[in-house]
Amino acid sequence: MAGVFLLVVVGAFIGYMATQSTVQGATTVDDVQSARALQAARAGIQWGAWQVLRNSGNCPASTTLTFAGTTLAAFSATVTCGTTTLTEGTGNVVVYTLTSNACNSSPCPNAGTTSSTYVDREVTATLTQ
């Protein structure tokens, strides 16, 4: 009787440990994908800022970036830019609002996806000139 009880307890413990190992592995993969999505969104912001500063305030309305040949190849970033002109004293200040949304699905963002591996990150930055 004690042997059967011991077998059941040890079997339950082994099952629990196997489940925890699987969950931990999936969580690690999700963390890596989340970090990659954030990096892709940040790259989109840097690209948008470079476009605004390099092209004397030319603000691209919407552009989709891909990252082929990199560890971010599964992601794309949609970068949008908007402008507002403010008057300060006797001069004008142009405010650029950049938004970069990166995800591993097409189109990006894909709010209707039901995939358990979908990752989406958004970063916003404001530049003034």
State the pLDDT at residue 24. Answer: 60
State the pLDDT at residue 109. Answer: 67
Q: How far is 117 from 47, CA to CA, in rounded Å?
A: 26
Q: How far is 111 from 78, CA to CA, in rounded Å?
A: 14
State the pLDDT confidence band at 46, using cuts at 50, 70 and 90: very high
Task: Provide the number of structural domains found in the chain.
Answer: 1
Is residue 37 a contact partner of residue 78, using CB atoms and an 8 Å limit? no
Q: How far is 89 from 81, CA to CA, in rounded Å?
A: 26
State the pLDDT at residue 75. Answer: 93
**Residue percentage of the chain with pLDDT more than 90:** 45
- How large is the average pLDDT for residues 12-22? 71
**Residue percentage of the chain with pLDDT more than 70:** 88
Which carries the bigger pLDDT value, residue 85 or residue 20? 85
The whole domain housing 79 covers 2-128
Question: Helix, strand or coil for residue 70?
Answer: coil
> Has residue 51 got a pLDDT over 60?
yes
Kindly report the average pLDDT of the chain as a whole number.
85
- Is 0.95 topped by the overall pTM? no
> Has residue 2 got a pLDDT over 70?
yes
State the pLDDT at residue 27. Answer: 63
Token pair 């011991």: residue: 6
